Structure 1
């Protein structure tokens, strides 16, 4: 049964079930993401080896993003999400099991990072294409904004809870994250609305379908530029958590204080998510993206001036506020202009640029932190962000784009 256009968003049981399950899962993931870095850093004492773990967690985007997008258009998206979350529950659960048995090794953590990252790619490709079939088309921007509010709340609470739990036992966050994936699986099973439109039988190979998504994206000038813009903004920030940990350690902050600093970004993200809709109405799509990109790049430099954990937290609120203000309209634009039967493949081609560059960003961040320290690392990583932000000002098709214009 398809959702009618007149159904209020907060009376849509399928949407509420979906965001509830994903919210619980996101909270667990933010707890373990933060403590994953703390655990590897504690075992090795090396930012570089911690960066290797982060690279392994994001490398699957390069390897599996395109086939995952094609699979999301070919197969049952809900089933893909269920299998992916179940796999994440099992792999994360293996960490505390190995720890309590006395067999936890760095290689084990690296394997879990890679496997979980791979499963997350398949989940995200299916989820990104599913939302349009859970809510009405005119509710996409609003639903995306509320998704971001919930996601940001988890971003705020996850590191804080993770740091507190880690101080009691390094394994508590991983146990809770494994259970959160179980909750996500249960919520997905309870949703009855199909996650995709009726599909025609495809006679193309998986490789041919992957190419179709790339070609469609490349031929759409605005989406093509937005993919490059997003990549230029996000890739230099890929090692952000490691930078914050290094800055906090330089201020002699403990794990709880470091978790508080990271969780402050969630508050900023909530503020930004709540501002998306009024800012879109006030500025319009193109001006919001251009001004948002400029602020994103400039605010990155603010981290250099933080003298203590409190100021660093305040600057983190400011820096994170701009993220949903830029990313939510970009996501809504993709959902609006791309046909459903190719949405998974176009999303995967888009995300291959955006997230496939994360291993490069994390690797560069790890090396820079090892060689020149966090302050100069921040300055050097600001250069590509400033470059793409200024390019956005002069790209004429973007200046003429509208969120409701199917170009």
Structure 2
């Protein structure tokens, strides 16, 4: 572990100013995102008394933009300066977030307002995520794409570790809507860090033809890649199920187990410990197993342990520990999986197609999330939270098993060039 830390400190990326600013900006944004996610659940459940179906709809709205504009966003971002897109997306998020505490102070906060803000945040996130994923290969050598994604995933885990814990603590001392002010401040810090990047960005290549033709070109590229297309289908199925699991966990903790929002924040934070370790130790997995087996094994194990969370209902005295330990373990394995599949995609894709390729995969992952969230809410209102969590976890496990039959699973080395 100490060797891994030293390799991070002395890695060429550490001396890459542009990447370090992007990394700092992404870390700040992730902390804010996690705080806002927890605050949104707390507002809907405890302040506005939303039903399970309404909570599912609210969660779905946060990712609906990936389904509606995910594909054209990729074509647009390919023709735009990525840094400018990220800054504009952050400014939009800051404006939307500050409207929540303002409405609360004026006693006019409603569930509809919360849903509108959730949708705007999702729309901004579409463009920010596609832009930053396409920006990484432009400022980091393709040789270091895996290492760069590992650090960005570590940022996500830092946000997951600190955000819910910080949000849970704040929810214990201030009204939930006021927590959004902290989230807005993290996006201000993110904007400042990205604005500070001084490395010239290559001029974007303007694709010819109509928007529809550009989208078709991107889809044709993914469809024609024997490594990517089968993986695309499995990732979409897993994302649908994972969205359902995520939307039900706060209900399980806050309602079924009668824990507080502070306890929920601490439980979510604990899971991120595993994620950070996963980002740090991923090279060891790749070195021992290769890309293919790492993808399949870490995905299946990471989802399998989540079966313990709904089962914790039957051991209420130990429920918090069961949820925390399963979260740590799951986050560790799924982080290794996520960094590996993202790096594989970026290694294969030519620079002029990065925006569309990333958007197509974001469409597959995030585009189905609103459907998964909404369906989970509907099923839970009929079958109960525990049974629904079992159903959606089993679906995610099946998607991981199917991944084992894809060509990507047969990559034995540490590069796509090692595919058999």
Task: Flag the 1:279–1:392 CA change in 2: closer, same or farther, 3 A.
Answer: same
| Selected match of 1:119 from 124, 131, 151 | 124
Task: For structure 1, list consecutive stretches of 5 or more residues without a partner in the other structure.
Answer: 1-5
| Selected match of 1:274 from 268, 271, 280 | 280
| Selected match of 1:22 from 26, 34, 40 | 26
Structure 2 counterparts to residues 3-402 of structure 1, below 5 A: 8-42=12-46, 43-169=48-174, 170-195=176-201, 197-249=202-254, 250-306=256-312, 307=315, 308-396=319-407, 398-400=409-411, 402=413
**RMSD between aligned alpha carbons?**
1.8
Would you say the 8 A contact 2:274–2:330 is kept in 1? yes
Q: Give me the TM-score of the superposition, normalised by structure 2.
A: 0.91
Separation of aligned partners in 1, 2:409 and 2:33? 34
| CA shift digits 1:94-123 (9 cap, x unpaired) | 111111122111111111111111111011
Would you say the 8 A contact 1:28–1:173 is kept in 2? no
Compare 288-297 and 48-57 and name the one that shifted more: 288-297
| CA shift digits 1:75-105 (9 cap, x unpaired) | 1111111111000000001111111122111
Q: CA deviation at 1:269?
A: 1.0
Separation of aligned partners in 2, 1:202 and 1:143? 27
| CA shift digits 1:293-343 (9 cap, x unpaired) | 221332232223322212211111112111111110111111111000011
Q: CA deviation at 1:393?
A: 2.6
Task: For structure 2, list consecutive stretches of 5 or more residues without a partner in the other structure.
Answer: 1-9
Would you say the 8 A contact 1:68–1:122 is kept in 2? yes
Would you say the 8 A contact 1:21–1:183 is kept in 2? yes
Q: Give me the TM-score of the superposition, normalised by structure 1.
A: 0.94
Separation of aligned partners in 2, 1:12 and 1:397? 31
Would you say the 8 A contact 2:238–2:399 is kept in 1? yes
Separation of aligned partners in 2, 1:387 and 1:240? 14
Separation of aligned partners in 2, 1:328 and 1:110? 31
Per the alignment, in what secondary structure is the counterpart of residue 332 of structure 1?
helix
Separation of aligned partners in 1, 2:333 and 2:61? 27
Task: Flag the 1:53–1:354 CA change in 2: closer, same or farther, 3 A.
Answer: same
Separation of aligned partners in 2, 1:144 and 1:374? 34
Would you say the 8 A contact 1:285–1:329 is kept in 2? yes
Would you say the 8 A contact 1:137–1:336 is kept in 2? yes
Per the alignment, in what secondary structure is the counterpart of residue 44 of structure 1?
coil
Q: CA deviation at 1:56?
A: 1.0
Task: Flag the 1:320–1:7 CA change in 2: closer, same or farther, 3 A.
Answer: closer
Per the alignment, in what secondary structure is the counterpart of residue 150 of structure 2?
helix
Task: Flag the 1:296–1:239 CA change in 2: closer, same or farther, 3 A.
Answer: same
Task: Flag the 1:23–1:388 CA change in 2: closer, same or farther, 3 A.
Answer: same
Separation of aligned partners in 1, 2:97 and 2:380? 28
Separation of aligned partners in 2, 1:340 and 1:56? 31
Moved over 6 A (4+): none
Separation of aligned partners in 2, 1:365 and 1:213? 31
Task: Flag the 1:396–1:137 CA change in 2: closer, same or farther, 3 A.
Answer: closer
Would you say the 8 A contact 2:293–2:412 is kept in 1? no
Q: CA deviation at 1:242?
A: 3.0
Q: CA deviation at 1:367?
A: 1.3
Separation of aligned partners in 1, 2:109 and 2:376? 27
Q: CA deviation at 1:154?
A: 1.0
